[in-house]
Chain A
Amino acid sequence: MKESVEAVCSAVVDLDIDAILDLVNACLEEGVLPLEIVEHGFSKGLAVVGERFETGEYFLADLIMAGEVVKEAMPLLEAKMNPGDAARRGKVILATVEGDIHEIGKNIVAFILSANGYEVIDLGVDVPASRIIDTALATGARLVGLSALLSTMVGSIRNVVDSASAAGLRDSLRVVIGGACTSEELKKEMGADAYGETAIDALRIFNTYSEADNHVR
């Protein structure tokens, strides 16, 4: 990995919000692609912050601050991305599940999906299942990404899956989960369709669904 991207990663890990803009600018001036900065700078840095949180070295405030560091620099990258045809790959509904207010992971996924031709309908945080299903019905979106950090709120994922079934959408709606407390096992337990560990995983999963749906059409 380039030194300049490593520096971005370190700034995220060190929660250095004062340095992040200069470091990202330096990467862009070197010709580093925005997606590379996201994957090897932001995502890798956030993963280290997450590990430190798990081991008790970092606290919830540190997690929030790491998100703020990334958020600070995101507009710089958005300005450099070529979103292409916004509806080329289809619509994705993104939401942090009801009872959970953590948004940085979801925002990174939203950024990457937008940059790769998806029309992202970002419902924000603490989103009830009913709103997600209503949005799917109103917009025709059939891809849903759910983010959850708090293990106490994983039941909200099940609520979305159950609400989709009740609305007659379960067979057509793809529910992808991600976030600190999610896992392949949780996906099975909650009846979701896929689990993505990183934002890039989420992109790959949605690409697979999008291509399959386009192929069917």
Chain B
Amino acid sequence: MLDEPFPRIAPLASSTGIRMTGTHLRDNINDAKTQTASVLAFLRRYPDVDMVFPIMDTSVEARAVGCPFVFKDSVPVITDHISASPYAVTALDIPDPHKEKAMRVNIDVVRSLASAGKTPVGCFVIGPVTLAAHLMGMTPLVRTAMNDSDGFWELLVHCTCIIRPYAQALQDAGASAVMVLEPQIGMFSPRIYEKSIRNVLEEFALGLVDPVLHVCGDTNKHIGLFAQTENFLGLSLDAPVDFAASLAQVPELKDKVLIGNVDPVKVMLRGTADMVRDSVSSLLDSMNGESFVLSSGCDLVPDTPLENLDAFMETARSYLK
């Protein structure tokens, strides 16, 4: 997906498939066959996407190491943390992705999707900062990041050790791109990112197939540093980032494939089909000639109107003709 010809199309929209199969999100999270059927239903409706993903679930890695969770509105939500101490977290065992159910479901979904058709399959893992936030809680993580740089570094490195075998298993199952989800990075200043996070991410991305860094929210202050972050081929960023303006301001961005960034809530969920068409057209126009994958700024919720997703795909298709 991260190579010519551009633009490509890959909305983060697999969860809408549950509406096509009439299944519950919780069952899709818990059962690989149910989820595979939903994603395949999504693919039947939108066969010309350039990559398809499993349903995004940012709790998988934390659940696999024992964080308690509940299903809230069918979404697994971490309810408590392992320890407020980074050193307790670094003592955690590395889970075997083939034995932990949360991980196994997604591995099986990727394998089934990869063997089902011609559409390349991507996968999601969370990044070390986001996993550390799950395992420690946000406030202890912030205190560690700001006052114990050695502890923070050890913590992030250990988190990559937890995630890496899972990422490898997803690749072995057939994933041809790994999207590293780091929604928590934007909460840290660019100074902390540069000092303590960037190197760990660069190291983590080594060995991943077509790695993409995904950060949601407003990352305009970080985008220059993201552009300089090595080993990631793609950057998937949310709607607050103006790609064309950023490309003009940050020349290094030309070295990345930019992925995004139609607003997943204001446009895709709450907007009209006309708003979607306008948003997609103007984005494609502004990114003409660039290394660009048309997508949503973040994962679309299952309730996203399908007529809006239809408008997204139709506009993209007509543009590519």
Which residues does A use to contact B, with CB under 8 Å?
15, 17-18, 56, 58-62, 64-65, 67-68, 101
Question: What's the minimum C-beta distance from B188 to chain A, rounded to whole angstroms?
Answer: 5
The list of the 9 closest CB pairs from A to B, nearest first, reads A60-B187, A64-B142, A61-B142, A59-B189, A61-B188, A61-B187, A65-B146, A65-B142, A64-B139
In angstroms, Cα B142 to Cα A64, docked, is 7
19 residue pairs from A and B, CB less than 8 Å apart: A17-B143, A17-B146, A18-B147, A58-B189, A59-B186, A59-B187, A59-B188, A59-B221, A61-B142, A61-B146, A61-B189, A61-B192, A65-B142, A65-B146, A67-B139, A68-B139, A68-B142, A68-B143, A101-B138
Give the residues in chain A near B142, CB-CB below 8 Å: 61, 64-65, 68
Total interface residues on B, CB under 8 Å, equals 13
Task: Tell me if B145 counts as interface (CB < 8 A to partner A).
Answer: yes
Query: Given that A15-B146, A64-B138 are contacting pairs, would A56 and B221 also be in contact in the complex, using a CB cutoff of 8 Å?
Result: yes
* Nearest A residue to B187, CB-CB: A60
In angstroms, Cα B143 to Cα A68, docked, is 8
Apart from A17-B143, A17-B147, A60-B186, what are 7 other A-B pairs with CB-CB below 8 Å? A18-B147, A59-B186, A61-B142, A61-B187, A61-B192, A64-B138, A68-B143
* Nearest A residue to B141, CB-CB: A61
- Contact assessment for A65 and B189 in the assembled complex, using a CB-CB cutoff below 8 Å: no
Give the residues in chain B near A60, CB-CB below 8 Å: 186-187
Give the residues in chain B near A101, CB-CB below 8 Å: 138
Question: What's the minimum C-beta distance from A133 to chain B, rounded to whole angstroms?
Answer: 21
Question: What's the minimum C-beta distance from A12 to chain B, rounded to whole angstroms?
Answer: 14
Question: What's the minimum C-beta distance from B291 to chain A, rounded to whole angstroms?
Answer: 28
Give the residues in chain B near A64, CB-CB below 8 Å: 138-139, 142
Question: What's the minimum C-beta distance from B109 to chain A, rounded to whole angstroms?
Answer: 30
Query: From residue 130 to 169 of chain B, which have CB atoms closer than 8 A to chain A?
Result: 138-139, 142-143, 145-147
Question: What's the minimum C-beta distance from A127 to chain B, rounded to whole angstroms?
Answer: 15
Give the residues in chain A near B187, CB-CB below 8 Å: 59-61
Question: What's the minimum C-beta distance from B196 to chain A, rounded to whole angstroms?
Answer: 11
* Nearest B residue to A67, CB-CB: B139
In angstroms, Cα B248 to Cα A24, docked, is 48
Question: What's the minimum C-beta distance from A97 to chain B, rounded to whole angstroms?
Answer: 16
In angstroms, Cα B145 to Cα A167, docked, is 45
Q: Mark B168-196, 1 if CB is under 8 A from A, else 0.
A: 00000000000000000011110010000
Question: What's the minimum C-beta distance from B166 to chain A, rounded to whole angstroms?
Answer: 26
* Nearest A residue to B138, CB-CB: A64
Question: What's the minimum C-beta distance from A186 to chain B, rounded to whole angstroms?
Answer: 20
Give the residues in chain A near B186, CB-CB below 8 Å: 59-60
- Contact assessment for B143 and A65 in the assembled complex, using a CB-CB cutoff below 8 Å: yes
